């Protein structure tokens, strides 16, 4: 499998990086019968990405699970740039062509290769055509299960297979349940998100470039500003203005890659008028400055 992975993954400039990536995987024995309904962990890696490096995947016959433990990793698929930040999990179907790239100084990810008859059941349940991305709730145990899968040691290969399968089932089950809640097919047992909080999130998502304050939101919605902050955080596990800044930085990254706006103008476009504040926020979110992000991005990410 190691040699096959080296053929399925390539780098633009440095072939030795491909070998380093492939060699970072621990490959597990497949001891399950062909007709066994099970999730099989084929290989696992805990990989630190090199700034400026991009890995191109094509023809990999396994489902990939990628969990960002630290930093920020960009995923490019069909000319679409997706930003995977700390706490994001992604599933990629077999034979999907995509690229991974980072400009962050420290980007670390768990990467699992999975197959087995149950994989397609879960992928279809989540309606994953090629790529699925989800930001984990701080209360989620998915990250804990991912770490347990990676660190678990077992002398008996069959017991190891059963352990990995159970943990992978737990991960998929939680994602499917959360997906059902978001689609309204299941009632959330926690506090339902107030309609006005949902409106604020939509406002931030679509009109992130406008100026906001808690006092202004208090006047608009007739709710105490401390209640607004508390209920937004309870609903989305993040304070409202931290969420807004994440949206702004995400949009700024697109402008840096696909426009000729300078750093000050980019900050203005996403609603951050103070250039030093914009630079500091950008570095906090991505691990690099806006200028370094623009200069360090490979050509294939630009104008896509």
Nearest one of 296, 209, 285, 288 to 257, comparing CA atoms: 296
pLDDT at 4: 64
Taking only the tens place, the pLDDT of each residue in 57-75 is 988 899 999 999 998 898 9
What stretches in the chain show pLDDT beneath 50?
Answer: 186-190, 300, 304
d(C-alpha 95, C-alpha 114), whole Å: 13
| Contact indicator for 226, 217 with CB cutoff of 8 Å | no
Q: Are strands 9-11 and 54-57 parallel, antiparallel or unpaired?
A: antiparallel
Taking only the tens place, the pLDDT of each residue in 204-258 is 988 999 999 999 999 998 988 888 988 888 888 888 999 999 999 989 988 998 8
pLDDT at 168: 94
Q: What is the pTM of this model?
A: 0.62
Burial environment of residue 48 by CB neighbours within 10 A (0 to 12, 13 to 18, 19 or more): middle
Nearest one of 300, 268, 302, 266 to 97, comparing CA atoms: 300
d(C-alpha 179, C-alpha 125), whole Å: 9
d(C-alpha 7, C-alpha 1), whole Å: 10
Q: Which two tokens stand for residue 290?
A: 């806006």
């Amino acid at each position: 499998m190691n040699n096959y992975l080296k053929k399925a993954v390539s780098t633009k400039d440095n072939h030795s990086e491909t070998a380093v990536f492939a060699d970072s995987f621990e490959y597990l024995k497949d001891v399950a019968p062909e007709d066994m309904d099970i999730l099989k962990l084929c290989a696992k890696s805990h990989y630190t990405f090199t700034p400026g490096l991009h890995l191109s995947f094509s023809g990999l016959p396994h489902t990939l699970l990628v969990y960002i433990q630290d930093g920020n990793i960009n995923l490019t698929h069909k000319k679409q740039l997706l930003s995977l930040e700390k706490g994001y999990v992604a599933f990629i179907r077999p034979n999907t062509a995509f690229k991974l790239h980072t400009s962050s100084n420290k980007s670390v990810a768990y990467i699992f290769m999975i197959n087995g008859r149950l994989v397609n059941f879960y992928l279809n349940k989540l309606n994953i055509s090629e790529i699925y991305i989800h930001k984990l709730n701080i209360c989620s145990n998915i990250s804990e299960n991912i770490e347990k899968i990676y660190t678990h040691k077992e002398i008996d290969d069959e017991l190891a297979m059963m352990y990995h399968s159970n943990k992978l089932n737990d991960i998929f089950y939680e994602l499917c349940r959360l997906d059902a809640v978001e689609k309204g097919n299941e009632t959330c047992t926690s506090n339902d998100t107030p309609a006005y909080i949902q409106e604020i999130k939509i406002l931030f998502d679509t009109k992130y470039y406008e100026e906001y304050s808690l006092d202004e939101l208090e006047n608009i919605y007739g709710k105490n500003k401390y209640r607004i902050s508390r209920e937004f955080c309870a609903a989305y596990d993040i304070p409202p203005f931290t969420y807004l800044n994440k949206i702004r930085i995400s949009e700024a990254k697109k402008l840096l890659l696909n426009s000729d706006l300078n750093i000050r103008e980019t900050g203005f476009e996403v609603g951050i008028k103070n250039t030093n504040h914009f630079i500091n926020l950008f570095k906090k979110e991505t691990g690099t400055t806006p200028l370094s992000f623009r200069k360090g991005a490979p050509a294939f990410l630009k104008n896509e």
